[in-house]
A = this chain, B = another copy of it.
Amino acid sequence: MPFVTVQIAKGHSVDQKRELAKALTDTLVSTLGTKPEWVTIHIDEFERENWAVGGELHSDKPGKGGKHHT
């Protein structure tokens, strides 16, 4: 009964989340042989001022506003 938590930056549309949840579930089914109804996906969004790599807040990095920087 896999439980998957995906931590990504805020700013994704419901369509993107729908596609993501479906694709991740399919991936678990195909790689682990589990059933889709046993898979739970939790999308846990964070604000960029709450995430840091190398000691620098994501919101302080130049050009980190787009969806490609999730």
Chain A contacts to B: CB under 8 angstroms: 1-9, 12, 14, 16-28, 30-34, 36-46, 49-60, 67-70
* Interchain CA distance A17-B60 in the complex, whole Å: 11
Give Cα distance in the complex from A17 to B70, angstroms: 19
Complex copy number for this chain: 6
**Which residues on B sit within 8 Å (CB–CB) of A12?**
32
Is the pair B1, A53 in contact by a Cβ cutoff of 8 Å? yes
Pairwise interchain contact B2-A32, C-beta atoms closer than 8 A: no
In the bound complex, do residue A21 and residue B55 qualify as a contact, i.e. CB atoms below 8 Å apart? yes
Ranked nearest first, the 4 interchain pairs of A and B with the lowest CB-CB distance are A25-B55, A21-B52, A43-B50, A41-B52
In the complex, what distance in Å separates the CA atom of A46 from the CA atom of B43? 8
